[in-house]
Structure 1
Amino acid sequence: MLDLKVHIDTNSGFCFGVVYAIEMAEDILNEDGHLYCLGDIVHNDEEVKRLVNKGLKIIDHRQLKNLEGEKVLIRAHGEPPSTYELAIKNNLTLVDASCPVVLKLQNRIKNSFDKKDKIYIYGKHGHAEVEGLLGQTANEAIVFQDIAELDLENMPERITLFSQTTKNTDKFYEINRILMDRGITVQTNDTICRQVSNRDKELRIFAASYDKIVFVSGSKSSNGKALYEVCRQKNPNTHFVSHPDQIEKNWFSKGDAVGVCGATSTPMWLMEDVRNTLLRY
């Protein structure tokens, strides 16, 4: 026996937007036995499998076009206006579990677009949330993941800057400063969710407190990849797993203090499964 001392980070796990979406899905599944969901309800394969086994049916936008008269869940990432227009056309009942923080951001971007602002969005290309934000601007906004993508010499003199809700706060303000230093007038909108961004600081403290870290996340989670790197930078003995079966016993030494943590898309039950596996060593 390795006699590991294992602790789960109480700040890890689902953010409130994901909790809201999953609770809404489970209520309908318990009542109706099935529910369509536009895209993975959360970027965690194990949680998706659990809900699929309860009757959740994952579809994409192509399949949505051929669906009629059904209930369809809009996940926390939100959707562009075109999805709502299609729902009306196909007599679909949308169960809107869009995160309130995302909805507020969509409204702010729509208001700026209506005022003819030059809109720039700091976010990940192709991300579901970002696609929903772009839809508020008829896909006219400029999306960038890194300031190196922008042609600073030929940008408008005045822009309105937004951010995907899950981006890094420090990086956002660094981008804002660089733009202003280049003489660009920036109307800055800090639209980053603090429940998500604060995980960065909390995880640095957590990761430094243990001999080894097991970071639990789905491989599709952008948030998971970013927070894993935060842990690894603070504690090089950090290991990424999506399932308890991926844990290797030789990562640990006898008596190690092991911290288990995860992304905003990682369910607590999965971190508990990881903890229980470690305690059996």
Structure 2
Amino acid sequence: LSEDAIYRSFDFGDLASLLMVETRLTARNEQLSYGADMPMTAAGPDVAAFEAKRNDPGRDLLGDRQRGWIRDTLAASKAAGRPWQVLGNQVVMGRVQGPDISKLASRIEIMALMAGLKPEVRAQVQQAQQLFSLGVPFNLDSWDGYPAGRERLYAAFADAGVEPIVLAGDSHAFWVNDLKDAAGRRAAVEFGTSSISSPSPGDHVPGVPLGAALTATNAEVVLCDQSAKGYVLLTLTPDQARAELRTVSTIMAKPYRAGVLKTFTVAKTATGLGSLVES
């Protein structure tokens, strides 16, 4: 590998392989933004033109060389008889559409929520709502900003014959996602960790149930929690993966209580991964 190719892998006996990928420096196209990249017409936002730009086949986070390395390393891990392949990845991989709150709450409930926000935050939420009502992604700096590149990665998983566990961060929120390719085929499962102390988008809109709205809106999202702070503890045995979403009761004072928000398990099967089960 060259000096700038910092992706690498670690094998844990006959149990698992961990692939640490690089998505920020060597092959990443600059993220899109709604302000700069959503064309405006007299009739309003030109979503079709924006989606054409977002779905540009050239948009990528990994590059061909790293993607080939991922495919080959996953295949070698499977051939070695390791039951688990884990992808350490920087940003959320699941498909996450921004929630249209008008479909999830009554007008009176929405007015009450808006009334509780600071004026500058209320304006940002209203602007986001106008966009999300058009069915666009929640976060363009995640894999949703690079859908063609994500499909190429899912094809690499399939070529290697594995359904990996994907780990994610960066979003400052907890996620449990059941990942599917564009044809609806199971590609992987994803566990995304919250931050230790940094605020999530949900923290900026107190009183708005953003995590619940994201979960209700998106078929791939099994759980999203925008409030809790902590980390994910992933435990692997030959037959099962267990993800504990570990939290603290407060980050605002030294006294705190440690707890577990949710625990999910997934079994290893002869053909890949079983269903995500809350336990």
Whether these two folds match at TM > 0.5 is no
Higher RCO structure (Cα 8 Å, ≥6 apart): 1
Q: Find the structure with the greater CA-based Rg.
A: 1
Structure with the larger helix share? 1
Q: Which TM-score band (shorter chain)?
A: under 0.3
Using the size of structure 1 for normalisation, the TM-score is 0.27
